[in-house]
Amino acid sequence: MIAQFASDSTKDVWYSNYLNCRQGITKSVEEYGNHFKKLQKKVNSNNETPAANTIRQFLSGLNLTIAPIVYTSGLENLAAVVEIVKSIEAEYKIIQRNV
């Protein structure tokens, strides 16, 4: 809804932020996922982007220790991918505590 009233330059900023969205080392998967979904809704308000492309974009911004594991899962919607990634992140945290 907001996107239809935004200027082209504002939309360009949203799209740039979307393409450059990264988890980094300080954000949890949940924080990254929420931020990514917010940006994704702005740049894809009509749900025109194929789910596979959205998932690829999400995975490309994930922490590099997690992303390769998720690529092999073959999930088809963003919500499922986020849940799997949160589970993997929790496992990594448990492993790191026990090392």
Contact 62, 85 (CB under 8 A): yes
Q: What is the mean pLDDT of residues 18-34?
A: 93
Query: What are the boundaries of each domain within the chain?
Result: 6-98
Whether 91 shows a pLDDT value over 80: the answer reads yes
Question: What pLDDT is stored for residue 93 in this prediction?
Answer: 82
Question: What pLDDT is stored for residue 3 in this prediction?
Answer: 58
Question: What pLDDT is stored for residue 13 in this prediction?
Answer: 95
Residues with Cβ < 8 Å from 51, sequence gap 6 or more?
A: 76, 77, 78
Query: In whole numbers, what is the pLDDT of the chain averaged over residues?
Result: 86
